[in-house]
Every structure is written in structure tokens, then in C-alpha cells.
């Protein structure tokens, strides 16, 4: 049986954490979860993942991002350059000419 040394938050605090978490962008969600988990120490990643409904891998990625924060390539952006859905190319429509009758 896994033993957790994390002191759990009360239900009100957990609900407030979830509500705040849902208002953040993906990048900020990862970083917020990472900060919360790091503050809790051993067992914090699993506990925060359970409370916020995200994966432990997401929190681990957030921790890595926090360590590389000074040289953040995505500063001021939600996604890395080149990430996300590609822009849709719109084919040119043939122009309609009015014919004289």
C-alpha cells in the first residue's frame, strides 16, 4: 500500500483550487499544478493530480517548464511557436462576372 506524507487540503480549498485551475490556459494550468505539488513535497504530484483532475505527467512537464522559465520560448504565448492547429488555406473563388443579355 502506498503511503502518502501529504497533508490534504479541506474540501473548500480543493474546490477553489479546481475552480481557479479551470480558468487558466493550458500552460498556466501545468505551471500552477507544478507549484502546488512542489509546495506539498513528497506525494504532492499524485495528490494535486487527483484534486485538479490532470495527469501526473502534466505536472511533471510543468515542473520542467518552471525550471526553464528564464529562457521560455513560449513567453507571451499559450502554445510554442508552430504548435496547434495549422491555418486553413482558402482556395480562391472564381469571380462571377455578370453577363449582358
Q: Do the domain assignments include residue 20?
A: yes
Residue-number span of the structural domain to which 44 is assigned: 11-71
Mind listing the pLDDT tens digit for each residue in 11-33?
A: 999 999 999 999 999 989 999 99
Q: Do the domain assignments include residue 92?
A: no
Q: Do the domain assignments include residue 100?
A: no
Q: Do the domain assignments include residue 24?
A: yes
Burial class (CB in 10 A: 0-12, 13-18, 19+), 33: buried
pTM of this structure: 0.68
Mind listing the pLDDT tens digit for each residue in 77-86?
A: 666 666 667 7
Q: Do the domain assignments include residue 55?
A: yes
Q: Do the domain assignments include residue 59?
A: yes
Q: Work out how many domains the chain is built from and give that number.
A: 1
Question: In whole angstroms, what is the distance from residue 101 CA to residue 83 CA?
Answer: 52
Q: Do the domain assignments include residue 96?
A: no
Q: Do the domain assignments include residue 19?
A: yes
Amino acid at each position: 500500500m502506498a503511503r502518502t506524507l501529504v497533508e490534504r487540503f479541506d474540501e473548500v480549498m480543493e474546490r477553489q483550487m479546481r475552480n481557479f485551475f479551470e480558468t487558466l490556459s493550458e500552460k498556466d494550468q501545468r505551471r500552477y499544478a507544478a507549484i502546488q505539488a512542489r509546495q506539498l513535497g513528497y506525494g504532492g504530484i499524485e495528490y494535486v493530480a487527483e484534486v485538479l483532475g490532470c495527469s501526473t505527467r502534466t505536472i511533471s512537464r510543468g515542473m520542467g517548464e518552471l525550471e526553464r522559465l528564464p529562457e521560455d520560448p513560449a513567453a507571451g504565448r499559450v502554445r510554442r511557436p508552430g504548435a496547434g492547429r495549422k491555418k486553413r488555406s482558402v482556395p480562391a473563388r472564381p469571380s462571377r462576372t455578370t453577363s449582358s443579355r
